[in-house]
Structure 1
Amino acid sequence: MDMEKAEEHGDVDIQITAKNGTVLEVGPEALYAMETEHRMGFFEGLKLYPPAVGWSIFFSLGIIMTAFDPQLLGSLYATPAFQKDFGYLFEGSYIISAPWQTGLGMGNPIGQVVGALAAGYPMEWYGRKWTFAACVAATAGCIFIQFFARSLKVLLAGELIGGLVLGTYATIAPTYASEVCPIALRGHLTAYINLCFVMGQLLANGVIAGTQTLDTHWAYSAPFAIQWLWPLIILAVVPFAPESPWWLIRKGRLEEAEKALNRLSSSKVDNKPTLAIMIETDRLELEMETGTTYMDCFKKTNLRRTEISIGVYTIQVFSGIYLVGYATYFFQLAGLPGSKAFDMSVGYLAVGFVGTCLSWVLLSYMGRRRMYNIGLAILSVMMFIIGILDCAPNYENRPAVIWAQSSIMVIWNGIYDLTIGPVCFSIICEVSATKVRSRTIAVATAVQALFGIVMTVAIPYMINPDQANMRGKLGFFFGGLSAISCVWAWFRVPETKGRTYEELDLMFERGVKTREFKHYKVV
């Protein structure tokens, strides 16, 4: 690809006018970059931008750590050695009380609220790269507290402090992934973040499945120690990572931005047109006054975009995803033997892994809006079925019903990770303006985590045998929330597939209706 082809468009700039009268003058280089991105297919993108893929995957390793810790904790509630050392006797067996489960589970969602919002500042001051490195170093230190904890109070301190740092990765990873890749790869690399959540959960369950038979503290100390693997890998490699070119452009460091673009693509790519369109987009957002602060996320210019980001992320909580952390415990309470409950929970997450991989195929052929709405509707129905099965007469003595209920939970997770799980990250990255992307993602993450805190408080009380003992009747609760979410998504989630950030800026600024996004032409 070279600029000679851009000369076909002549030397006259193309003018695109926004609703408020702002004029974007697109020169030959920028116009060529727009057309090239639209023509590029997935496999061509892989061929031309392998470094971008690799570095995006690397920055998403933080998400694996974020998912590993809460899943590990949820699985430990069903580990005999952990129950004995940290729990109390209830009807002949050890359990961790609901208040302590709630307190320990607070570390991750509270961390996402505080950490996600706090990450926005150093990300804008020092860039994505060095913010990531500092957070990983802090995570390595926090693991010491968890590893040496021998009481619930010390473990609680480790979870709360560690959660504050882990919360930053939910902002860093999608921001970086959305800023280093072309349109053809953007949906897949942002959706990969969901795969990292699944991998973190799967690894945690796999580790616990291997250590839960130990009758010493190593049944839970060894899984905590394994978390040091990620900081070792990340800190050794992160100094060589390229900075986000979008961040460099906003800082006026155009030469460094071009060098970063060159490092993120193969030698066959001429990045001058790409740099040109990025500069024009940054100027357009400056003239539209999109701003760069958290308050700017709620200005009229960005309010709709912020609402969509918050909505699609929060619906993950409403759909029932927080049950993943209690999968082993849920299956055990449903009536499955201990070893079968662990096997089922590992299978549960393995299906999620496969579902996320298959979602990449759907992302290439289906729109974000269709994937999200269809997936959410199916999840709603499945939750209601789980609740109905729990109402079967003589439930405790009907293993077929218990297995059916558990199997539907596994399928539910597969559908979630095929649809709304991964496509959520594509949507929040695409609807947010580039100047406030890290802020918008941070706000969405924080609001999602606030509702996560509510679920963290509520689920132990709803599911524990010494409390409400709802078992599968939780399906009615999450099914109802999912049904309400379906209505909102139908009216508010637009189609963003195949659009440049520049086009999306103009479409939102012009107030294009939700169902008109797919076929709208920017002229």
Structure 2
Amino acid sequence: MDTGTKDTAHGRERSLDERDRSFDGDVLKGDIKVGAVSGDAAREATAREHQMTFVEAVKTYPTAIGWSMFFSMGIIMTAFDPQLLGQLFATPRFQQDFGYKFEGKWIIAAPWQTGLLMGSPIGQVVGAFAASYPMEYFGRKKTFGACVILTAAFVFIQFFARSLPVLVVGELLGGLVLGTYAVIAPAYASEVCPIALRGVLTSYVNLCFVMGQLVANGIIAGTQRLDNHWAYSGPFAAQWLWPLIILIGLPFAPESPWWLVRQGRDADAEKALRRLAASHVDVKPTLAVIIETDRLEQELEAGSTYMDCFKKINLRRTEIAIGVYSIQVISGIYLVGYATYFFTLAGLPTDQAFNMGVGFLAVGFVGTLLSWVLLIYFGRRVIYNFGLACLVVLLLIIASLDCAPNYANRSGISWAQAGLLLVWNFCYDFSVGPVCFVILCEVSATKVRSKTIAIATAVQAALGIVMTIAIPYLVNPDQLNARGKIGFFFGGLAFISLIWAYFRIPETKGRTYEELDIMFSKGLATKEFKTYVVDGVHP
């Protein structure tokens, strides 16, 4: 098969074999000799990555796994805060201190629910765009540290809040910083691990979302019976645990070698690679691949600004990144934050609703672990589309059950809907949830990865703002009171998303970033990505 690549900026066609993969002599930087790596070394590293099994990768890159998981701890904080608020709406003491009585029951008014939950999606919009600049100027490590310090500071406002306006301010300020972690974590994970680990470590971001939600539910389940302010102040204070752990370990973390290469710090990049791999690993071939991929993207004029994400060379990649991330929202993920509240509205007793909420996320945890196994053996495209199809069917069944005659007096239907929501969350967390982050990182060009992720995060969060405004009005008993019929809304949107995903999401499993650059630059059809041969190397 033709292995040539087309430079879309200059209209040139040339063979990859003719492309100069050598370095001009030996360059000394610091005490490390770099740049004297031949094209053979780059090809050797690429072939080695393709041949490496998951078990071999775990043994070869144990520290890369550890540091990737460490940076993903920010996602736990990102998920903890909005999930906490969603559960507080069903907490009796929080309802009494911050709500009003409606038909003999305490509730939080829908406008205030919207205002409180707005902090997370607004923060992701602003924080995502704001994070990419310091990430490129100061690196992933320093940006992460600064954001963690700010998060710890803004928790004080939430902890001492005794009125809804003060709590809204604390949530909005905290959300601005929490939004940055959704960009930092997947970008770092995708840049410190080999192909065999890339799927698992980038999908681990989703597991951190689940863990953050699960911890929030667990803490609220333990404090919701307290008859004082600690019923909600205690869960807010729990957020200080993560900054404490992160700030202790961060000074020892290696910087992303891809970022270091883009800064011209090849010697530091080699040091970082040595810290990410086992001591016996020769990292020079890997460094050669990083340098060569960066050089290729310069030749393809991939660029490094937000506007470059929308140039022809990157536009398709940006569309796919935005699409897979946005589908998380429009397929119903924001219902997770309302799970316990939804269960109470469906007629389940408060204690059972909280227990169901914890079980809801525990199932999601197991689903994400299953996705790791699936990612090793199956393609991203297959898992994503199959899972999304399951979500469509489940949502429509949940909605249809809500139309049953005499629904209010048939508790069995409420339990059936709750059970189907558990199955929905399981399907989401082995497919659309984790695989989204894998595709998001793999389709974006390395030079604009942080900005592509930022744009996708911002669009997803903007849709989240719409859902944050809409859902309280759709489900609250003093508003539309749609109950399970909300499944028709999300099921319809998920079906439209499935059609898009089938025609637009390519298979990226087992590809180096250089290979993906080449395939996207050639404008391959979606179905051709799985079998296309680059430079004589089979996927």
TM-score of the superposed pair, with normalisation by structure 2:
0.94
| Residue-by-residue CA offset, 1:320-349 (whole Å, 9 max, x unaligned) | 000000000000001100001000000000
Residues 1:33 and 2:20 are matched in the alignment: no
1:183 to 187, 195, 200: 195
SS at match of 2:478: coil
1:64 to 73, 76, 91: 76
- Listed one character per residue, the Cα deviations across residues 336-375 of structure 1 (whole Å, up to 9, x for unaligned) are 0000100000000000000000110000011000001010
Instruction: Give the counterpart letter for 1:326 in structure 2.
Output: Y
Structure 1 residue aligned with 2:501: 489
1:394 to 371, 391, 406: 406
Give yes or no for the alignment of 1:80 onto 2:92: yes
State the partner residue of 1:18.
5
Please tell me the root mean square deviation across aligned C-alpha atoms, in Å: 0.9
1:25: how far off?
3.1
SS in 2 for 1:18: strand
Q: Does structure 2 retain, via aligned residues, the 8 Å contact 1:16–1:25?
A: no
Q: Which whole-Å CA distance do the structure 1 matches of 2:352 and 2:3 have between them? A: 61
Equivalence for 1:450: 462
Alignment-derived partner of residue 528 in structure 2: 516
What's the counterpart of residue 330 of structure 2? 318
CA distance in 2, matches of 1:268, 1:310: 39
Counterpart Cα distance in 2 of 1:459 and 1:224 = 23
- Following superposition of structure 1 onto structure 2, how do residues 111-190 of structure 1 map, counting pairs within 5 Å? 111-190=123-202
2:6 counterpart SS class: coil
Match of residue 482 from structure 2: 470
User: Cα deviation per residue 1:370-393 (whole Å; 9 max; x = unaligned)?
Assistant: 001010001000000000000010
Residue in structure 2 matched with residue 413 of structure 1 by the alignment: 425
* Matching residue's letter, 1:308: I
Question: Unpaired segments of 5 or more residues in structure 1?
Answer: 1-14
DSSP 3-state at the match of 1:266: coil
Deviates more, 1:209-218 or 1:20-29: 20-29
Secondary structure of 2:510 counterpart? coil
State which of 231, 238, 248 in structure 2 corresponds to 1:226.
238
Residue type at the aligned position of 1:18:
T
* Secondary structure class of the residue paired with 1:484: helix
Counterpart of 2:5, as a letter, is A
Separation in 2, partners of 1:407, 1:182: 38
Matches within 5 A, 1:361-372: 361-372=373-384
Q: Tell whether 2:190 aligns with 1:195.
A: no
Alpha-carbon distance between aligned partners in 1 of 2:245 and 2:399, rounded to the nearest angstrom: 43
- Whole-angstrom CA distance in 2 between matches of 1:153 and 1:230: 26
**Paired letter, 2:266:** L
AA aligned to 1:25 is D
**1:268 CA displacement:** 1.6
Q: CA deviation at 1:16?
A: 5.9
Give the equivalent residue in structure 2 for 1:98: 110
Cα separation, 1, equivalents of 2:413 and 2:112: 31
Contact 2:3 2:533 in 1 (8 A): no
1:313/1:444 contact within 8 Å kept: yes
Shift of 1:17: 3.5
1:328–1:344 Cα contact (<8 Å) kept: yes
Aligned counterparts, 1:300-379, within 5 A: 300-379=312-391
Indicate conservation of the 8 Å contact 1:52/1:181, yes or no.
yes
Partner of 1:259: 271
Cα deviation digits, residues 97-126 of structure 1 (max 9, x gap) = 000000111000000000011000000000
Whichever residue aligns with residue 102 of structure 2, its letter is F
- How many Å apart are 1:195 and its aligned residue? 0.2
**SS in structure 2 at match of 1:25:** coil
Q: Which residue of 2 aligns with 1:11?
A: none
For residue 481 of structure 1, what is the amino acid of its counterpart? L
Deviant stretches of 4+, over 2 Å: 20-26
Q: Aligned letter for 1:236?
A: I
Unaligned runs of 5+ in 2: 22-38
CA offset digits 1:420-453 (Å, max 9, x no partner): 1000000000000000000000000000000000
Q: Distance in 2 between matches of 1:373 and 1:257?
A: 37
Deviation, structure 1 residue 404: 0.3
State which of 55, 72, 76 in structure 2 corresponds to 1:43: 55
How many Å separate the matches in 1 of 2:281 and 2:404?
A: 62
Partner of 1:94: helix, strand, or coil? Answer: strand
Q: TM-score, normalised by structure 1?
A: 0.97
Q: Alpha-carbon deviation of 1:162?
A: 0.2
Task: State the alpha-carbon separation in 1 of the partners of residues 20 and 101 from structure 2.
Answer: 72
- Between the aligned partners of 1:197 and 1:99, the Cα distance in structure 2 is 26
